[in-house]
Amino acid sequence: MINVGIIGGSGYTGVELLRLLLPRTDVSIRFVSSRAHAGTRVDEQFTSLRGHCDLEFSDPATINQAECDLVFFATPNGTAMHQAPALLEAGVKVVDLSADYRIKDIGTWERWYGLTHTSPAWVERAVYGLPEINREAIRSADLVANPGCYPTTVQLGFLPLLEAGLVDTKSLIADAKSGVSGAGRAASVPTLLAEASDNFKAYGVSGHRHLPEIEQGLTFMSDSPIDLTFTPHLLPIIRGIHATLYAPLKSGVSASEEELQALFESRFKSEPFVDVLPSGVYPETRSVKGSNTVRLSVLKPQGRNTVVVLAVEDNLVKGAAGQAVQNMNLMMGMEETEGLQGLPLLP
């Protein structure tokens, strides 16, 4: 039995962590914190948990974090960098679902997030929590920086092509779409039903905070400079990300669609949460709803020079809480898939 805590448990990521952790008999949740809801029952805020959770939200100032083996930070950017170091120095492992420890270059992080980083020493020690790349490092990590939702689909989609050195890394394009839950639970005009429903639009075209995280990861895969055009869009759905990725083959490189299919199947054959679909089958967001699975398909339309990869995930599961639990399992020496075998919801 391991003891865990959740700091910032009143958002969509927090309730998703609870949904995944509460049924487990090998995990005990010691606290769920929320300044806004301190003293109220968790299942009053999230009625889906009635009968499964008798915890009250705790004030972060009063919780005994030392009771835990591992703590999740499901907090806004800029919170974990203040609070995580004390936990880590006390021997508590941390999975941070915010962006505080994802980007290794402090100056880059500060430019994109508009904050001064208060624990840069831990940035260097943090392990980026994409198990399909860093599995062994995650096993021995004290601090894991859980990837963003867009970065997970984009990086996994490009991964086999970059590792094999097949594509021009200066001409990559990611055309990605997310459901409204990716914006969080706080009220805002763009995510109101009357604004987001029956509508489709791009945002962050001039620069999105996930861009430096994605480019950092892609550079690590390829050991070559990366030039990525990343355009996010808002879908009128609650959960799900669909990314269409474009990568031109290098000059002089020849690869048929059959060869690309074999490359993807070989790279991900041992990955429990990456599903490469058969040739000619395209992934749908609803096929991963509620699950920790990323589904991919790879194509070479019209036999031309551009490889197209389609990738889908549930942004709250593999894009956030599910991947965090996957990382927890690895960090604590548990079976990696424990608590994450649930089937997707359909319809």
Co-location of 179 and 257 in the same domain: yes
Q: What percent helix, strand, coil does the chain show, rounded to 5? A: 35, 20, 45
Q: In terms of domains, do 63 and 199 share one?
A: no
Structure tokens at 323: 């991947």
d(CA 128, CA 135): 10
Q: Is 149 a catalytic residue?
A: yes
Q: Residue 104 sits in which domain range?
A: 2-125
158 and 298 part of one domain: yes
* 24 pLDDT higher than 90: yes
Same domain (yes/no): 197, 237 = yes
pLDDT at 114: 96
Task: Say if residue 19's pLDDT is above 80.
Answer: yes
What pLDDT does 51 receive? 93
Task: Report the SS3 class of residue 143.
Answer: strand
Asked which of 58, 92, 125 is the last residue of a domain, the reply is: 125
Report CA 224 to chain centroid distance, whole Å: 24
Is 91 within the bounds of a domain?
yes
CB 275 within 8 A of CB 289: no
Judge whether 137 lies within some domain.
no
Considering the domain boundaries, does residue 217 fall inside one?
yes
In a domain, 34, yes or no: yes
Looking at the structure, tell me whether residues 157 and 256 fall in a common domain: yes
Q: Label residue 157 by pLDDT band (50, 70, 90).
A: very high
Residue pLDDT, tens place only, 79-110: 999 999 999 999 999 999 999 999 999 999 99
Q: What is the pLDDT of residues 171-219, one digit of tens each?
A: 999 999 999 999 888 888 989 989 999 999 999 999 999 999 999 999 9
In this structure, the answer to whether residues 265 and 161 fall within a common structural domain is yes
pLDDT at site 66 = 74
Report the DSSP beta bridge partners of residue 230: 174
Task: Tell whether 177 and 104 lie within a shared domain.
Answer: no
- Domain CATH for 99: 3.40.50.720
CA distances (Å), origin 86, targets 78, 93, 269:
15, 11, 39
168 and 308 belong to one structural domain: yes
pLDDT at 301: 95
| SS3 category, 246 | strand
Strand order in 228-234's β-sheet?
201-202, 228-234, 172-178, 241-248, 306-313, 294-299, 274-276
The torsion angle over the Cα atoms of residues 161, 166, 169 and 171, rounded to 10 degrees, is -100
Distance CA 146, CA 123 (A): 13
Q: Closest by alpha carbon to 195, among 183, 208, 205, 211? A: 183
pLDDT band at 36 (very low <50, low <70, confident <90, very high): confident
The tally of CA atoms less than 13 A away on the side-chain side of residue 323 is 33
Of 125, 159, 190, the residue at which a domain comes to its end is: 125
Asked whether residue 333 is assigned to any structural domain, the reply reads no
- The total of structural domains in the chain comes to 2
pLDDT digits 0-9 by tens, 115-137: 999 999 999 999 999 999 999 99
Distances (CA, A) of 144 to 2, 77, 78: 17, 15, 16
Q: Please report whether residue 241 resides in a domain.
A: yes
- With the CA atoms of 229, 313, 332 and 77 taken in that order, what torsion angle do they form, in degrees rounded to the nearest 10? 50
Q: In whole angstroms, what is the distance from residue 284 CA to residue 330 CA?
A: 28
Last residue of a domain, one of 125, 158, 193: 125
Do the domain assignments include residue 228?
yes
DSSP 182-221: GG-SS--GGGSHHHHTT--EE--TT--THHHHHHHHHHHH
Q: How many helices (H) and strands (E) does the chain have?
A: 11, 14
Residues 194 and 118 in one domain: no
Mean pLDDT of the chain: 95
DSSP-assigned letter for residue 62: T
The C-alpha atoms of residue 233 and residue 150 are separated, in whole angstroms, by 11
Identify whether 329 is part of a domain.
no
Closest CA to 176 of 153, 192, 197: 153
* Helix-helix angle 149-163:210-222, to 10 degrees: 20
Q: Give yes or no: residues 101 and 159 share one domain.
A: no
Where residue 263 sits, what CATH number does that domain have? 3.30.360.10
Please check whether residues 222 and 91 belong to one and the same domain. no
Which residue among the candidates 6, 94, 99, 149 is catalytic per the annotation?
149
Looking at the fold, whether 113 and 163 belong to one and the same domain comes out as: no
Backbone φ and ψ for 331, nearest 5 degrees, come out as -65, -35
